[in-house]
Amino acid sequence: MSWYGDGDATENGGLFCVACGLPGAEWRCARCKAPYCSAPCQKGDWKQHRATCAGKSESRDLKCLLQPCSFSSWKDLGRGDQLLKLKKKECFGLALLEALQKMPAWRLEPVNGRCVVWILGARDGIEKRQILEGGWHRLLSCLDVGWDIVLIGPEMEEDKAVLVHNGTRVFTFAMLLHEIELPEHLQKPSFVCAFNSGVGASVPLHMKSWIPTLVLLLRLKLPLLFTCFGLHEARLEASLFEALEVNFTKHQEGHFGHVLEADKPLSVCNAMFTWLQGSKLEEDGLANAAEAVQKQIEACQLFQFLKEMRSHRLILSDPDRSAHTGWAEMYDGRFVPALKHALEEDDDEKGGHSADCTLCHEDRGCCVRGALLRPALPTLGSGGAAALRALGG
């Protein structure tokens, strides 16, 4: 599958043909003003475009155009090594397709005859890679319209060029949603998706950063898809949504989950999912509820820090002898991701020990000590809580 980049994601995005994806679209649909590059391209696209054209208001629901699937789980798609390759390539696209098939009776509004979707918390090595390798082809082919896929996340490597293939356009933004200014044709999506957001992962610092984004999304009153790693996260997500009086569906089990990041505990991606749309609260009520939730999360941060203070002090005071005991006590024998990453990246063949440590100038496991200090210190200075994952919540 070949993709090509053309144009700038922030300047020329509104001038792409909705049929072929080429830039320089100067023709317009007389009814809805959807852009086309030529008269033949517009004529060839009419069969698909007519169902979503703004001139046919009774048909402007993309969900009604979604074609049913002939498969319902991984066992319907293959076996053995072939299935393992398929899972790595298509797990996110199929999880999204399954969720769309089971979406409540909410409308999916087209934008200029296209399906516009925001993917929040996106990453180059997962969502973008899978799309460019053709891993979303089953999803894209089940809805016979052009797609604008907007990948948004601080872990992205932003590509100014718009990636185009067979009428599908991919835009990338390397920042948080509430930090960016999207071009006009992407500002109101058909729906929003947050894969494994972590909003229910019992990590107060991470949950707190999600609240402004969640409130922004609720104010749009658009369908929002949230997936998570399992029941432990689903319960906390539901509690958070209830506190904000969100309209949401009961979490459902996903049948296209897959362990993409084996080093993370409880890491079955998209194990469960739920749909959200708006809040029962008015503007002021939603703002007050969000502030109350933030205060509760801050209180949890402090409580978590106090609960773990003894173990933190034990690890930091004597990493050589006490670190493994401390890890086992705090994390049931599982590494903090930052620690594990630091040890894996070690290149001095001393297991994380360094003779030239800028933190304490001691040849006693200082890299292990630094790996703990780096994630913890920013939070300790601003609120008195450790930015460490509370696993198994």
DSSP per-residue string spanning 82-115? HHHHHHHHHHHHHHHHHHHHT--S-----BTTBE
pLDDT at residue 263, as a whole number: 64
| Residues near 173 by beta carbon (within 8 Å), at least 6 away in sequence | 9, 150, 151, 152, 153, 156, 158, 180, 182
pLDDT at residue 88, as a whole number: 92
With 0-12 / 13-18 / 19 or more C-beta atoms within 10 angstroms meaning exposed / middle / buried, residue 4 is exposed
Q: What is the largest CA-CA distance in the chain?
A: 75
Burial 76-89 (b: 16+ CB within 10 A, else e): ebeeeeeeeebbbb
Distance CA 144, CA 286 (A): 37
Burial 352-380 (b: 16+ CB within 10 A, else e): bbbeebeeeeeeebbbbbbbbbebbeebe
Q: Is 138 helix (H, G, I), strand (E, B) or coil?
A: helix
Query: Cβ(45)–Cβ(144) under 8 Å?
Result: no
* Tokens describing residue 201: 């992962």
Tens-of-pLDDT digits for all 393 residues of the chain? 677 776 665 444 445 677 776 777 778 887 777 778 888 888 888 877 776 675 554 457 899 889 999 999 999 998 888 999 999 999 999 999 999 999 999 999 998 888 999 999 999 999 999 999 999 999 999 988 889 999 999 888 888 888 988 889 999 999 888 788 888 889 999 999 999 998 988 777 778 888 999 999 999 999 999 999 989 899 999 999 999 999 999 999 999 999 887 666 557 899 999 999 999 999 999 999 999 888 888 877 776 666 666 666 666 666 665 555 555 555 444 444 544 454 444 444 443 333 333 333 333 333 322 322 233 323 322 222 322 232 223
* Tokens describing residue 332: 């049931």
Q: Phi and psi at residue 277, in whole multiples of 5°?
A: -160, 105
Amino acid sitting at position 216: L
Amino acid sitting at position 23: P
Domains and CATH numbers, the chain: 61-280 (3.40.50.150), 302-382 (no CATH)
Distance CA 54, CA 340 (A): 53
Q: Is 130 helix (H, G, I), strand (E, B) or coil?
A: helix
Residue 218, Cβ neighbours under 10 Å: how many? Answer: 22
Distance CA 149, CA 156 (A): 14
Distance CA 298, CA 208 (A): 8
CA-based nearest residue to 175, from 10, 307, 65: 10
Distance CA 19, CA 29 (A): 12
Q: Is 168 left (phi over 0), alpha (psi -120 to 50) or beta?
A: beta
| Residues near 307 by beta carbon (within 8 Å), at least 6 away in sequence | none
